[in-house]
């Protein structure tokens, strides 16, 4: 009896995973009408509202930003943001930082985050961004081509392990002549 209920539980979990994998989300630009839902999503995914407040602050203070949402059946289930970063002493480079990103906890590990990253990088490329920085899981971002920034002699302004700060060239060789520290919007310092 107990064995059967365990098998049923596994079947239910597998079915749910399959259903999630089959649910095709629509990734689009965030609109002002989405802001409250994006706040709630970030607060839920990160377990407190620091990143949600960061998103609000970035909209106010960044010169430009890319903010995209994943929508499933009219519900916002994912969010990704890119804001300009600078490589100190080198002006004129077109660089963006990917942060934050969040997916609704019940739908994580079903590919929604990957769809957001892929769509966001495509948008960065179309806007002439040469490279993107990210501070995040070293098992996750390399699948999109991100590599430790140390390979270009580039560091984060934050004191973090080498493998968690990564960069991706959207234009081949964009970073090859540059070294230094990447600086984020000052709103990140208040996180």
Ligand X SMILES: CC(C)(COP(=O)(O)OP(=O)(O)OC[C@H]1O[C@@H](n2cnc3c(N)ncnc32)[C@H](O)[C@@H]1OP(=O)(O)O)[C@@H](O)C(=O)NCCC(=O)NCCS
Closest CB 50 distance from ligand X, rounded Å:
11
Structure tokens at 45: 């995914």
Structure tokens at 4: 């059967």
Q: Mask of contacts with ligand X, 33-72, x by CB under 6 A?
A: ------------xx--------------------------
* Secondary element (H or E) of residue 16: helix 2-22
Q: Does 119 bind ligand X (CB under 6 A)?
A: no
Contact at 8 Å (CB) between 82 and 124? yes
CA distance 87 to 23: 39
Closest CB 174 distance from ligand X, rounded Å:
23
Which is closer to ligand X, CB of 15 or CB of 171?
15
Out of 43, 72, 136, 147, the only residue in the binding site for ligand X (CB under 6 A) is 136
Please name which of 187, 184, 158, 183 lies closest in space to residue 54, comparing C-alpha atoms: 187
Q: Does 118 bind ligand X (CB under 6 A)?
A: no
Q: Does 108 bind ligand X (CB under 6 A)?
A: yes
CA distance 65 to 90: 20
Q: Does 103 bind ligand X (CB under 6 A)?
A: yes
- The residues of the shown chain that bind ligand X, judged by CB under 6 A, are 45-46, 99-103, 108-114, 136-137, 139-140
């Amino acid at each position: 009896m107990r064995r059967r209920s365990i098998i049923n539980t596994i079947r239910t979990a597998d079915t749910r995973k399959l259903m999630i994998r089959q649910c095709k989300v629509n990734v689009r630009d965030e609109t002002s009408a989405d802001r409250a839902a994006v706040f709630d999503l970030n607060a839920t995914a990160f377990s407190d509202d620091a990143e949600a407040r960061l998103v609000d602050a970035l909209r106010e203070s960044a010169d430009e930003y890319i903010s995209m949402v994943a929508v499933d059946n009219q519900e916002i289930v994912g969010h990704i943001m890119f804001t300009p970063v600078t490589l100190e002493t080198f002006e004129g480079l077109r660089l963006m930082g990917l942060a934050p990103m969040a997916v609704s906890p019940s739908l994580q590990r079903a590919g929604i985050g990957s769809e957001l990253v892929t769509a966001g990088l495509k948008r960065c490329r179309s806007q002439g961004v040469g490279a993107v920085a990210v501070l995040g899981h070293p098992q996750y971002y390399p699948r999109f081509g991100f590599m430790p920034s140390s390979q270009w002699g580039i560091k984060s302004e934050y004191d973090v392990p080498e493998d968690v700060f990564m960069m991706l060239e959207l234009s081949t060789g964009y970073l090859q002549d540059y070294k230094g520290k990447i600086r984020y919007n000052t709103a990140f310092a208040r996180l």
